[in-house]
Amino acid sequence: MWQLALRTLKFRKTSFVATFLAMFLGAAIVIGCGGLMETGIRMAADPQRLAGAPVVVTGDQTYDSTALTERHRIDPALVGTVAKADGVRTAVGDVSVPATVLKDGKPLTGKSDSYGHGWAGARLTPYTLAVGGSPAAGGEVVLDSGLAERAGARPGSTVDIVVQGTTRRFRVSGIAEQHGGHNPHAAVFFTDDEARTLAGGRIDSIAVLPAPGKSDAAVADAVRSAVGDRAEVLSGEHRGLAELPGTLPSKRTVVILAAVFGSSVVLIVMFGVASTLGLSLQQRAREMALLRAVGSTPKQLRRMILSETAVLSVGSVLLALLPGWAIGRLLFGVLTSSGVVSSEIVYHAGWIPMAVGAIVTVLAAAGATRFAGRKAARTEPVAALAEATAGTRWFSVPRLLLALFFLANGIGLAIATATVMDDGPTLASTAGPASVLFCIGLALLAPGITRVMVALLRLPVRAFSGLSGQLALRNAATASVRMAGAVAPIVLLIGIATGTLYMQSTEDHVSRTSYDKNILADYVLDSTTGGFAPGVVEKVRATPGVAAASELVISRGFVDRPGGLADADLRGVSAEGVRQSLDLPVVAGSLTDLRGDTVALSDKKAREYGVKVGDRLPMHLGDGTAVHPTVVALYTDNPKQQYLTLPAAALAPHTGDGLPHQILVRTAPGSGAEAHDRLAALAARVPGTELDVSSSLAGRNNQIQQILVSANYTIVAMIVGYAAITVVNTLVSVTRKRSAEFGLQRLTGATRAQVIAMLTVEGVLIGVIATVLGTIASATTIVPYSLVKSDSYLPSGSIGIYLAIVGGSLLLVFGATLMPSWRGMRSPAVDTVKAA
């Protein structure tokens, strides 16, 4: 059978190209999603500034197995504990605080591009003194060589540096050069005591240098025993995470993204491979019948088909390994460029995603062989004399049960999305796959559905297309299985593309409009130097024409409730200006009481957490700090902006930079351009401050909320591209198979134009049927998602999206049928019939 299978592949190259291509592309996409999944699970980063330390001790960046969004700093006393551990030569406490050098009152670096550290940490990169000496007393600093060159500084000169929101003058004691090029940020080195004071008395990490002759692994184990549960010990490729606080939440994002799209891709690939292989076997019905006529048993034919499939699947998987890695790397590049994960995270794609891609492709091929090959192997010998009847029977109980399984699961996910899921980042995990499952269910029943819809379209087609339409209708009625094979992949294409793109457009619209309505301020002041000092907001309030001003701090934390942790968006505000800056209609208590250890939340959230005004709400802030603020106000719930409100002075110290980065400004009625000019003048006097209209906040929030947009579109493009290739493969294969039919029509008097006209009508029928079914399938994603997001059955977004999808699908249909047919009819009709 192996020899027969290989000879079949050799002499039927064209019929196997589509199957091979479907397997190859499917395996590559699955391998790419697998690489993304492995990267998210491992979540490792190469060290940068701490590259010289083989072991790093840092704060545990999780609470109750949930990733923290802000840096969890540790007690400086742990430095002594770590230094006493067996095998430790040196333990260096390290801190990083925003420190921006000014020249002529302007920052030399952009936002988050310059940090201050203790001089002891310079040895870890390493930095070495090129000129001058180390900082010996408070008020002295060492600048890295690049920063010193831009500032025009040298030992003995003075520079202005913004730290903790305040401009201070320092004497430059020396210039340091970086070796190894690990640290991408500008570095300012203070004395160790001053750096620790600027960091609030705590430290970020402890760099551990092993004693000579001690292995890194042994020292890491000794340090873990010494620190216990007071800190986390990192080694190897995980050391870099100590320099990337807030990175771990992206692990969940990447894993969910890879899982949702990976599962959809697996289903689509299995369907694409199965349908392509099944179509290939249907077109070989006469060949199978002839083999049965010369004595082949069904078992032998199944073995031959399985052997052919094995050769194709193994070959396609081997060739897909490298492209699969490249696809995964491309997806990861999109995530890093859009800010979903830090660019310092290491991309991993080992043997596991390779194996998964191989197994999925082989299983898809084996499944297609099991169902399609079984029927082909049972072909009766007499069927060779009745080719016209081959492949007309499609219905079977297993096929019906499988179709009902996919349809029921698609509907089930749609219902779960509308009734169970909350508006949040996991909403798409049930809404997205619903249309994929429903599409596959419709595709399995496509022959029967196509027959019914052709009957419904009979009268309008006859009325508008004449003789060509009658021929097309007759072909559709007598070859519904063949037409269904063309309809099915287009249904998949339209359903998935429409559902996913309108999900994204709805998310964009809701996020943008809801945030814009929540902001009442007219202007926003932004700090690019690490945040505003407490006195700045008072200066803003004192500016003529300003009615109110409120600091704004954005973070995430957790509410401790009996059922477990609940994620919570947090906003830090100023009690004096919050009512004029944010739309928070109070229903109980007062927002002016937001001072000290207090919190305000929506009435809906209060009922959910079981608290009222005067109660204490157990919480953990973004850095893991446990707090029990008193509820001082309840306001009307906004389903799209369900954040908890705390005093900015209480929330800011538990964020990365420790200061508010924005100030919301509400101007007095009639103040007009004068208020803007005064605010601009104030911004010019505070280094690193930018003035913008408040609507820019909505755009930035939308950017944060939609940070996965580019990744979504990239992955959807791959899925749609794969579906499009399946469409082209199917249609071209079907069209080439009908070359003898077209030749006979021409021999009986039909012209090339008449044959093309018939095919055009068939293409319209295919397009109409596929569009209707694809639209129905997409509704299982769009309708429940829109209901949860905007309380509307219709999605937000331009009708042009839908028209572009349908138009592109029709172009594929006509391009894959008319062009091959036109080229095939350039040969004499007699030769075409003989060749068949």
CA-CA distance, 339 to 112, in Å (whole number)? 14
Nearest to 311 by CA among 270, 277, 350: 277
- Alpha helices in 43-143, H assignment, sequence order: 78-83
Classify each residue of 210-224 as buried b or exposed e, where b means 16 or more C-beta atoms within 10 Å of its C-beta: beeebeeeebbbbbb
Do 205 and 73 fall within a single domain? Answer: yes
Single-letter code of the amino acid located at 573: V
CA-CA distance, 9 to 419, in Å (whole number)? 51
Average pLDDT taken over every residue of the chain: 83
Q: Which residues sit opposite 172 in a β-bridge?
A: 141
Do 123 and 96 fall within a single domain? Answer: yes
Residue 401 placed within a domain: no
Do 679 and 825 fall within a single domain? Answer: no
Cβ-based neighbours of 57, under 8 Å, separated by 6 or more: 74, 78, 82, 91, 205, 206, 208, 223, 227, 231, 232, 233, 234
Residue 387, pLDDT score: 45
Confidence of residue 15 (pLDDT cuts 50, 70, 90): low
Do 343 and 425 fall within a single domain? Answer: no
Are the C-beta atoms of residues 520 and 579 closer than 8 Å to each other?
Answer: no
Do 126 and 186 fall within a single domain? Answer: yes
Which is more confidently placed, 271 or 107?
A: 107
Nearest to 778 by CA among 452, 402, 501, 489: 501
Does the pLDDT of residue 12 top 60, yes or no? Answer: no
Quote the distance between the C-alpha of residue 419 and its chain's center. 24
Are the C-beta atoms of residues 662 and 652 closer than 8 Å to each other?
Answer: no
pLDDT (tens digit per residue) in 47-82: 888 888 899 999 888 888 788 888 888 999 999 999
pLDDT (tens digit per residue) in 286-320: 677 677 777 777 777 777 777 777 777 888 888 88
CB neighbour class for 137 (10 Å; exposed up to 12, middle 13-18, buried from 19)? exposed
Of 218, 245, 272, the position where a domain reaches its end is: 245
CA-CA distance, 623 to 630, in Å (whole number)? 20
Question: Which residue segment(s) compose the domain that 294 sits in?
Answer: 1-43+247-391
Query: Which backbone phi and psi does 459 adopt, to 5 degrees?
Result: -65, -50
Nearest to 726 by CA among 163, 400, 275: 275
Confidence of residue 391 (pLDDT cuts 50, 70, 90): very low
Nearest to 688 by CA among 166, 49, 314: 166
Do 387 and 270 fall within a single domain? Answer: yes
Of 205, 228, 245, the position where a domain reaches its end is: 245
What H or E segment, with its residue span, contains residue 602? strand 598-602
Are the C-beta atoms of residues 64 and 565 closer than 8 Å to each other?
Answer: yes
- Alpha helices in 294-350, H assignment, sequence order: 298-337
Tokens linked to 826: 């350039």
How much is the average pLDDT of 384-400?
Answer: 60
CA-CA distance, 773 to 442, in Å (whole number)? 7
Do 223 and 235 fall within a single domain? Answer: yes
Residue 635 placed within a domain: yes
Tokens linked to 777: 């399938």
How much is the average pLDDT of 247-264?
Answer: 75
pTM of whole model > 0.85?
A: no
Do 82 and 224 fall within a single domain? Answer: yes
Residue whose tokens read 């027969």 = 4
Query: Which backbone phi and psi does 792 adopt, to 5 degrees?
Result: -135, 145
Residue 86 placed within a domain: yes
Confidence of residue 412 (pLDDT cuts 50, 70, 90): very high
Residue 701 placed within a domain: no
Total tally of structural domains belonging to the chain: 4
Do 684 and 543 fall within a single domain? Answer: yes
Of 204, 224, 245, the position where a domain reaches its end is: 245
Residue whose tokens read 């809701």 = 510
Do 241 and 251 fall within a single domain? Answer: no
Quote the distance between the C-alpha of residue 215 and its chain's center. 39
Are the C-beta atoms of residues 289 and 381 closer than 8 Å to each other?
Answer: yes
Which is more confidently placed, 25 or 594?
A: 594
Residue 546 placed within a domain: yes
Do 109 and 60 fall within a single domain? Answer: yes
- Alpha helices in 602-651, H assignment, sequence order: 603-609, 648-651
> Residues, the chain, total?
836
Confidence of residue 761 (pLDDT cuts 50, 70, 90): confident
Confidence of residue 706 (pLDDT cuts 50, 70, 90): very low
Confidence of residue 13 (pLDDT cuts 50, 70, 90): low
Residue 342 placed within a domain: yes
Confidence of residue 539 (pLDDT cuts 50, 70, 90): very high
Do 204 and 120 fall within a single domain? Answer: yes
Does the pLDDT of residue 649 top 90, yes or no? Answer: yes
Residue 402 placed within a domain: no
Long-range contacts of 384-391 (CB under 8 A, 24+ apart): 384/286, 384/289, 384/290, 384/292, 384/293, 387/285, 387/286, 390/282, 390/285, 390/286, 390/289, 391/282, 391/285, 391/481, 391/482
| Least confident stretch, 5-9, 325-329, 430-434 | 5-9
How much is the average pLDDT of 38-51?
Answer: 84
What H or E segment, with its residue span, contains residue 601? strand 598-602
pLDDT (tens digit per residue) in 636-645: 988 777 889 9
Residue 50, pLDDT score: 87
Residue 400 placed within a domain: no
